[in-house]
C-alpha cells in the first residue's frame, strides 16, 4: 500500500512537470501580444493576471519591456502625455548632446506638408530650442497619392524646421525612406546608433503617441540586448483630434505592428549584432 502511494506521488509529480512544460511551450511572443490586446479590449483583473503570468512563463526580456510599457500606457488611466503649447515637461536629459528628438512624419497632401505635420514640426522645434545641443531626427518617406516629384516627409520637415522655425540643418538628420511607423522606428534607431545617441524623446500627434512609443520600446529593448544602451526619456505631442474610435484602432495597430517587428519581420528589420 505504501509502495503504491509513493509511485502515485511520483506519477503526479511527473505529470505536473509535463503539464507545466507543455504550458510553457505553448506560450509564444504572439500569445503575449494577444494577451495585451485582450486586456485592453476587455479590462479585468483576470486579463491583467494572465498577461503577467504568460510574460513570466516566457521570460523574454524584450517582451517583458513591451508588456510593462503596455500596462502603463494602455491599461492604466494615468499614463502622462505631454502637449506642445499646453504643458511644460521637465524631462531629465542627462547629456543633451547625446539626445535626439525623433519627429514622426505624416502623409503628404499633393506633395506638401499637411497641417498636422507642420504641427509636429512646431512641437519639435520648441523642444529643440529648449535643448540646443540635441539632435532632431525627421523620419518619413515619399507619401501621398498625388506626389509626382516624390517629395519626402523628412526633407520637407527638415526644410520647415530650418526656414520656419530657425533650427540649424546641422542639427537635423533625415530618414527619407520610412513608409510606416515600424520603419520610422527602425530607421531612426539606425541613425541614433550612428550618432551615438543614448536617450530620445518621441514627437508625434497625441493620438499616435502610445502606439508609436510601444514600437520604440520594443526596438530599444532589442538594441539593449545587443549591447547598444538607449532610453526613451519622454513624449512630446502635437494636439489634434482623431476620428471617433481611433483609440481602439491604435491599440490594434500597435499589436499588429509589434508582431511584424518582433515575430514575422525580425530578421528583415533588425541588423546583425553591432556595437554602438
Answer for the pair 119, 240: CB distance below 8 angstroms, yes or no.
yes
pLDDT digits (tens, 9 = 90+) for 94-117: 999 999 999 999 999 999 999 999
**pLDDT value of position 266:** 61
* Strand (E) or helix (H) holding 244: none
Which three cell numbers mark 82?
A: 505631454
* Strand (E) or helix (H) holding 221: helix 206-225
Q: 196 lies in a domain? A: yes
CA-CA distances (angstroms) from residue 74 to 38, 209, 213, 276? 11, 11, 11, 31
pLDDT digits (tens, 9 = 90+) for 134-146: 999 999 999 998 9
pLDDT digits (tens, 9 = 90+) for 159-217: 999 999 999 999 999 999 999 999 999 999 999 999 999 999 999 999 999 999 999 99
**Does the structure show a pLDDT above 80 at 265?**
no
Which CATH number fits the domain that encloses residue 161? 3.40.50.620
Q: 129 lies in a domain? A: yes
CA distance 203 to 276: 23
Range of the domain at 179: 96-245
Number of domains in the chain: 1
Amino acid at each position: 500500500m505504501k509502495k503504491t502511494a509513493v509511485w502515485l506521488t511520483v506519477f503526479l509529480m511527473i505529470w505536473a512537470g509535463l503539464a507545466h512544460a507543455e504550458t510553457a511551450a505553448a506560450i509564444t511572443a504572439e500569445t503575449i501580444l494577444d494577451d495585451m490586446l485582450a486586456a485592453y479590449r476587455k479590462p479585468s483583473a483576470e486579463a491583467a493576471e494572465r498577461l503577467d503570468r504568460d510574460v513570466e512563463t516566457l521570460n523574454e526580456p524584450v517582451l517583458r519591456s513591451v508588456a510593462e510599457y503596455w500596462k502603463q500606457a494602455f491599461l492604466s488611466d494615468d499614463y502622462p502625455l505631454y502637449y506642445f503649447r499646453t504643458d511644460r515637461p521637465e524631462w531629465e536629459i542627462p547629456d543633451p548632446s547625446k539626445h535626439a528628438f525623433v519627429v514622426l512624419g505624416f502623409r503628404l497632401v499633393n506633395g506638401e506638408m499637411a497641417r498636422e505635420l507642420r504641427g509636429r514640426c512646431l512641437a519639435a522645434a520648441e523642444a529643440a530650442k529648449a535643448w540646443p545641443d540635441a539632435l532632431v531626427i525627421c523620419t518619413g518617406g515619399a507619401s501621398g497619392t498625388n506626389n509626382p516629384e516624390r517629395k519626402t516627409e523628412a526633407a520637407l520637415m527638415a526644410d520647415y524646421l530650418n526656414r520656419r522655425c530657425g533650427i540649424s540643418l546641422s542639427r537635423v538628420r533625415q530618414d527619407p525612406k520610412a513608409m510606416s511607423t515600424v520603419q520610422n522606428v527602425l530607421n531612426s534607431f539606425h541613425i541614433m546608433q550612428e550618432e551615438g545617441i543614448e536617450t530620445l524623446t518621441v514627437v508625434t500627434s497625441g493620438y499616435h503617441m502610445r502606439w508609436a512609443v510601444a514600437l520604440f520600446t520594443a526596438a530599444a529593448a532589442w538594441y539593449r540586448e545587443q549591447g547598444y544602451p538607449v532610453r526613451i526619456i519622454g513624449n512630446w505631442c502635437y494636439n489634434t483630434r482623431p476620428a471617433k474610435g481611433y483609440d481602439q484602432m491604435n491599440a490594434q495597430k500597435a499589436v499588429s505592428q509589434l508582431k511584424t517587428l518582433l515575430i514575422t519581420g525580425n530578421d528583415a528589420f533588425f541588423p546583425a549584432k553591432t556595437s554602438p
